């Protein structure tokens, strides 16, 4: 029995369980500690908020499936001061979708429900909001896609002064067919993260089909690991308002979710990065994206990396292929009235690509805090902006990439090395279709394991306390794939990796049960702590995803 058949069978079983599970309609905001369990399905009937002081815990295996109406149905948002704990597993992911999702086949669809929005108290940079400053301060911003119900409705605001803020934990979460259109140019992203602090744990997140962006981050210091973004209707990974975190191990597959214009159904940029609402403000986006596999649309796709408003991003050990437009695309500003690179004495785009991340000149930047390095920690080597130790294959336009010096030997990039072949094992596409006036070649099958020049990295990928050392380029090692089992991409038969490369190898546990053996009983001993006071192994007062690392630290060497 092969893995794809098993996945299909699991999907069928999942449908049966959904059909017999009780449906609970969610119509009111969450005001206290609340648990959603896997023996129910949850139907969001309108915009639901988790209010400050409250928490929402979603059990592994829980399905949130909302009605799919003409303009989308329910949606929910976690306010500043609230928490969400949605910790799925490989075998029991948490799925947020619409009732039209049959959990078996990919559909050309989106806008069938809303999204997940999480808002926190970390620093953001929005000089356009009344009362905000262009410095590190207690700045707040209204969340895109949320509509205040009354004057002074603070539920829709994010931002503050706590970079260590903790909004909870998300893991093994698949978000599908969302992006409710609220109004003209006001659409919901798959996952919206506003002012999220580094105390929040986010890993193994998938966005499949969405009207607007896949994941959008506004400011904050949140880090992400194991991110999969497919067939998004706008930008796949969008950064704004001074994000100062890191993201490692990702997959972006550019495509379309419906027959709409580019930006509202047909994919725009794979990564779009904005620095601050005006590029002379602080904080300015200063981040690292490491080990991402980015697969574009070769005919009518948009940019691989777009740069606006002073953004400073390092792309380290990535794989960028089949981009139909520019690999590196200077956009200047985002067109909403902000001012781009070089405004009011800030660095030009050429400057950020040639200035060391720790240049002494940065200490005197306009509006920088007294101790700049304490606020900008994602970059630990190289220049403020770079594409380094990466594989670039099958792309159309390197004009600005070359102009910014990213073709220099010191960058250690493999550029269009046809003799090495694809930077992943295999890819298949559907025949050409026209969507939104663009010729699209949808990816139908992918084995994303590193191949060719992606198998071996050349140098440093910016190890910084969150980003870990990797010996390969792109999001996947040559011998393992982290999408198997829990993702829609796998459930829909779009991951072609053989079964033997899907297992995640973990260390063998020590003899925690005290029976003199190192075996499965020890795993049970570890899991027995989860959700109880002894599960707080990192001592932060909560039992969240961050404790998983502490659990693994208890594992000893294999006998």
For residue 15, is pLDDT > 50?
Answer: no
pLDDT computed for residue 530 by the predictor: 55
| C-alpha to C-alpha distance for 325 and 421, rounded to whole angstroms | 21
Work out the pLDDT band at 520, boundaries 50, 70, 90: low
Could you say which DSSP state residue 420 is in?
Answer: G
Contact in structure between 441 and 418 (CB atoms under 8 Å): no
pLDDT computed for residue 384 by the predictor: 98
For residue 96, is pLDDT > 60?
Answer: yes
Helices (H) and strands (E) in the chain, counts: 7, 34
Would you mind telling me the total number of residues written for the chain in this entry? 559
Average pLDDT over the chain, rounded to an integer: 88
pLDDT computed for residue 16 by the predictor: 36
Question: What is the spatial order of strands in the sheet that 75-78 belongs to?
Answer: 47-50, 75-78, 116-119, 191-194, 215-218, 237-240, 271-274, 305-308, 328-332
Q: What is the mean pLDDT of residues 485-492?
A: 97
For residue 504, is pLDDT > 70?
Answer: no
pLDDT computed for residue 335 by the predictor: 76
Q: % helix / strand / coil in the chain, to the nearest 5?
A: 15, 30, 55
Contact in structure between 29 and 82 (CB atoms under 8 Å): no
pLDDT computed for residue 299 by the predictor: 96
Q: Which of 480, 356, 472 is nearest to 414 (CA)?
A: 472
DSSP letters, 151-170, are: TT-GGGEE--S-TT---EEE
Q: 410 in helix, strand or coil?
A: helix
Token pair recorded at residue 502: 């899907």
Q: What is the mean pLDDT of residues 78-102?
A: 97
pLDDT computed for residue 12 by the predictor: 34
Stronger pLDDT, 20 or 429, i.e. the higher one: 429
| C-alpha to C-alpha distance for 513 and 532, rounded to whole angstroms | 17
Give the model confidence (pLDDT) of 111-147 as tens digits.
999 999 999 999 999 999 999 999 999 999 999 999 9
pLDDT computed for residue 333 by the predictor: 79
Strand 168-178 and strand 201-210: the pairing is parallel
Token pair recorded at residue 441: 């070649």
Give the model confidence (pLDDT) of 174-216 as tens digits.
999 999 876 556 679 999 999 999 999 999 999 999 999 999 9
| C-alpha to C-alpha distance for 522 and 518, rounded to whole angstroms | 7
For 360, residues 6+ apart whose C-beta sits below 8 A from its C-beta are none
pLDDT computed for residue 516 by the predictor: 52
Distance (Å) of CA 206 to CA 230, 456, 490: 8, 26, 11
Stronger pLDDT, 558 or 396, i.e. the higher one: 396
For residue 5, is pLDDT > 60?
Answer: no
pLDDT computed for residue 391 by the predictor: 98
For residue 529, is pLDDT > 60?
Answer: no
Token pair recorded at residue 70: 């003409």
| C-alpha to C-alpha distance for 260 and 273, rounded to whole angstroms | 23
**507-559 CATH choice from 1.10.10, 1.10.1330, 1.20.80, 2.50.20:** 1.10.1330
Distance (Å) of CA 543 to CA 118, 510, 526, 549: 19, 21, 13, 12
For residue 552, is pLDDT > 80?
Answer: no
Q: Which of 274, 331, 268 is nearest to 304 (CA)?
A: 268
pLDDT computed for residue 334 by the predictor: 76
For residue 373, is pLDDT > 80?
Answer: yes
């Amino acid at each position: 029995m092969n893995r794809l058949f098993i996945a299909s069978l699991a999907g069928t079983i999942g449908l049966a369980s959904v059909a017999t599970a009780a449906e609970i309609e969610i119509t009111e905001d969450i005001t206290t500690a609340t648990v959603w369990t896997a023996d129910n399905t949850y139907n969001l009937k309108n915009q639901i908020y988790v209010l400050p002081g409250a928490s929402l815990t979603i059990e592994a295996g829980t399905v949130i499936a909302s009605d799919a109406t003409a303009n989308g149905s329910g949606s929910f948002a976690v306010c500043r001061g609230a928490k969400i704990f949605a910790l799925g597993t490989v075998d029991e992911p948490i799925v947020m979708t619409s009732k039209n999702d049959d959990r078996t086949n990919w559909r050309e669809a989106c806008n069938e429900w809303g999204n997940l929005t999480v808002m926190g108290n970390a620093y953001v940079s929005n000089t356009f909001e009344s009362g905000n400053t262009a410095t590190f301060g207690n700045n707040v911003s209204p969340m895109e896609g949320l509509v205040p119900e009354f004057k002074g409705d603070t539920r829709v605001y994010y931002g503050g002064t706590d970079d260590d803020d903790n909004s909870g934990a998300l893991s093994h979460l698949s978000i599908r067919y969302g992006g409710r259109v609220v109004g003209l140019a006001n659409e919901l992203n798959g996952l919206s993260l506003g002012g999220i602090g580094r105390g929040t744990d986010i890993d193994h997140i998938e966005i499949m089909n969405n009207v607007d962006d896949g994941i959008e981050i506004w400011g904050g210091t949140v880090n992400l690991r194991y991110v999969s973004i497919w067939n998004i209707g706008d930008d796949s990974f969008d950064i704004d308002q001074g994000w100062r975190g890191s993201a490692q191990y990702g997959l972006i597959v550019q495509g379309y979710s419906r027959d709409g214009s580019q930006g509202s159904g047909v994919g725009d940029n794979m990564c779009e990065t904005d620095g601050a609402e005006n590029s002379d403000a602080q904080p300015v986006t200063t981040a690292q994206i490491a080990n991402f596999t980015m697969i574009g649309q070769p005919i009518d796709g948009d940019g691989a990396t777009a740069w606006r408003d002073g953004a400073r991003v390092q792309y380290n050990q990535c794989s960028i292929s089949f981009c139909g437009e520019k690999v590196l695309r200077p956009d200047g500003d985002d067109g909403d009235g902000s001012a781009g690179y070089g405004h009011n004495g800030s660095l030009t785009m050429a400057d950020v690509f040639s200035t060391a991340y720790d240049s002494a000149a940065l200490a005197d930047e306009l509006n920088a805090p007294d101790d700049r390095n304490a606020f900008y920690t994602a970059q630990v080597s190289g220049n403020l902006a770079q594409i380094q130790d990466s594989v670039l294959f099958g792309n159309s336009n390197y004009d600005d990439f070359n102009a910014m010096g990213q073709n220099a030997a010191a960058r250690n990039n493999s550029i269009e090395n046809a003799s090495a072949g694809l930077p992943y094992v295999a890819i298949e596409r559907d025949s050409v279709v026209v969507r939104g006036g663009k010729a699209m070649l949808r990816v139908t099958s992918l084995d994303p394991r590193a191949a060719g020049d992606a198998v071996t990295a050349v140098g440093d990928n910016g190890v910084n306390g969150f980003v870990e050392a990797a010996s390969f380029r792109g999001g996947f090692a040559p011998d393992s794939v982290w999408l198997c089992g829990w993702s829609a991409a796998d459930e829909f038969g779009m991951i072609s990796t053989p079964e033997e490369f899907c297992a995640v190898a973990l260390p063998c546990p020590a003899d925690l049960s005290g029976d003199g053996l190192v075996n499965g009983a020890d795993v049970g001993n570890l899991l027995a702590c989860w959700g109880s006071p002894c599960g707080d192994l990192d001592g932060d007062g909560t039992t969240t995803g961050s404790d998983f690392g502490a659990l693994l630290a208890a594992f000893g060497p294999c006998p």
